[in-house]
Structure 1
Amino acid sequence: MKVVAYLRVSTDQQDTSMSAQRDLIERWAAYREHDIVAWLSDPDVSGGTGLADREGGREVLRMLGAKEAQGVVVTKLDRLSRDVADFATVLKQFRKKNWSVATLDLDIDTATTNGEMIAHVLMALAQWERRQIGDRTRAALAELKRQGKPYGGRPSKTDLRGEVVNYITMRRDEGAGLSQIARELNEAGHLTSLGNRFYPSTVAKLVERVAALRA
């Protein structure tokens, strides 16, 4: 089978990480008897950036769509996605187009029967996690509302107690990342003041605005 090898590294680890990833993928391809038709990479790109939003990632999708390859291989899950839930979304998209994906750290290769079974389990777990996140988010926002803190997605100078803003502040204090908070708000069905979905950049702007107004 023809596969695309995809590498993602941070700038300060580029030389050693690239070499290590290539070695692992070459040995895997030889064992599986796969043909690596291209080596694509995105140096210094966050795992939170979607595959289609990366230069190398777009080329991966183009090659798969053009049937120049039947699958993609990465050494670790975080090279392709930010977490298991995001990886489940990628798997779902790939399955619709009959593309395979292999992650060496989880020993998943959807071109095999066992790999496809594990992928199904991951997608089921991701769906369960999303529902749990939605339940927790709704409960937390309901508690803030019960405490008399008015709803509001965009804080003003006179009102920094918006329900969503309080939730974001609370989750940041707990160490949650911007992508995770945005996902939790979306799963709970909340929209921005403009009626849009929350994105990490949206959450970041709210955090910055609150910090500036409270300074």
Structure 2
Amino acid sequence: MTRTMLAYVRRSKKNRKRPDDPAYGIEAQRTIIERAADANGWRLVWAPADDGATGAHTRRAGLTWALDQLAAGHADGLVVAKLNRLSRSVADFAEVLRVAKKQRWSVVALDLGIDTSTVNGRLVSNIVMSVAEWEREIISQRTVEALAEAKESGVKLGRPILVPKPVIRRIRRLRSSGRTLRAIADQLNADQVPTAHGGDRWHSSTIRGVLSRSGGDPHARTRPTTPVPVG
């Protein structure tokens, strides 16, 4: 039975400036895939080329089109000339393999001899997914350990304050004078004071956050304590 394979090619923006590069050129990749198709009797369907797209993530027009076609059952598998044309990230490649397994289509990377329709190809794909899972767990563990160490060292965690100091002083001064959070936000909006990220709208929650990260709200309500009867 003839397999219908979606052929995918990509060239990065850096290599786009070198059109004659035999290793990463679009035509070179197509030639490699066509030779493999002739040798294996595949019917090829070409995905739109992602010419000038990064391999740091999978959010690319051509690859998205190919994955949608595969999800709809219009092909038996995805073939690339080089694995790094599909993804430079182990985690992203592992996710493609996971989706392929769930949707029952194969992944072929010709440079590494990976074909998940074969026993050996499935073994390699399982190793890749295990490595990706290990990597996620290691990163998570190191993050937890780093945060715990920072906390023990007295490092104050949380988002940094990006509001200019003069604006912070003004907010605290207005709050100390008895203004409500809403009134302070309205005043800053009326004076067209930009927010920390360059926006033009202050909100009560934004003011509360600035006060909290800059030493606390001088007018924050505290819960009254119930007097303890004596005797």
**Using a 3 Å threshold, how does the CA distance of structure 1 residues 5 and 15 change in structure 2: closer, same or farther?**
farther
Which residues of structure 1 form unaligned runs of 5+? Answer: 160-215
Give 1:100's match in structure 2, choosing from 98, 106, 110. Answer: 106
Equivalent AA in structure 1 for residue 11 of structure 2:
V
Once the two structures are aligned, what percentage of the paired residues are identical? 41
Show CA shifts across 1:175-195 (max 9, x none): xxxxxxxxxxxxxxxxxxxxx
| Pair 1:4-2:6 in alignment | yes
1:79 positional shift: 1.5
- Does the CA contact (< 8 Å) of 1:101 and 1:110 recur in 2? yes
Show CA shifts across 1:16-43 (max 9, x none): 4112111211122222221212243111
Give the structure 1 partner of residue 18 of structure 2. Answer: 13
**Using a 3 Å threshold, how does the CA distance of structure 1 residues 96 and 154 change in structure 2: closer, same or farther?**
farther
**Using a 3 Å threshold, how does the CA distance of structure 1 residues 155 and 78 change in structure 2: closer, same or farther?**
farther
**Using a 3 Å threshold, how does the CA distance of structure 1 residues 19 and 153 change in structure 2: closer, same or farther?**
same
1:110 positional shift: 0.6
- TM-score if structure 1 supplies the norm length? 0.66
1:45 positional shift: 0.9
1:157 positional shift: 4.9
Equivalent AA in structure 2 for residue 112 of structure 1:
T
Distance (whole Å) between structure 2 residues aligned to residue 147 and residue 157 of structure 1 = 26
Higher gyration radius (CA): 2
1:121 positional shift: 1.3
**Using a 3 Å threshold, how does the CA distance of structure 1 residues 153 and 75 change in structure 2: closer, same or farther?**
farther
Distance (whole Å) between structure 2 residues aligned to residue 103 and residue 155 of structure 1 = 46
Give 1:115's match in structure 2, choosing from 112, 118, 121. Answer: 121
Distance (whole Å) between structure 2 residues aligned to residue 66 and residue 86 of structure 1 = 21
**Using a 3 Å threshold, how does the CA distance of structure 1 residues 39 and 61 change in structure 2: closer, same or farther?**
closer
1:40 partner SS: coil
Give the structure 1 partner of residue 73 of structure 2. Answer: 67
1:155 positional shift: 3.5
1:4 partner SS: strand
- Runs in 1 of length 4+ with deviation above 3 angstroms? 13-16, 154-159
Distance (whole Å) between structure 2 residues aligned to residue 56 and residue 14 of structure 1 = 19
- Does the CA contact (< 8 Å) of 2:4 and 2:45 recur in 1? yes
Give the structure 2 partner of residue 45 of structure 1. Answer: 53
- Does the CA contact (< 8 Å) of 1:81 and 1:87 recur in 2? yes
Equivalent AA in structure 2 for residue 12 of structure 1:
K
- Does the CA contact (< 8 Å) of 1:77 and 1:83 recur in 2? no
- Does the CA contact (< 8 Å) of 2:83 and 2:109 recur in 1? yes
1:15 positional shift: 5.4
1:48 partner SS: coil
1:150 partner SS: coil
- Structure with more helix by fraction: 1
- TM-score if structure 2 supplies the norm length? 0.62
How many correspondences in the alignment? 157
What's the RMSD between the two structures over aligned residues? 2.0
2:68 partner SS: helix
Which residues of structure 2 form unaligned runs of 5+? Answer: 166-231
Show CA shifts across 1:71-126 (max 9, x none): 11112222112312221111001110001111122221111111011111111111
Distance (whole Å) between structure 1 residues aligned to residue 117 and residue 137 of structure 2 = 29
Give the structure 2 partner of residue 137 of structure 1. Answer: 143
Distance (whole Å) between structure 1 residues aligned to residue 116 and residue 64 of structure 2 = 21
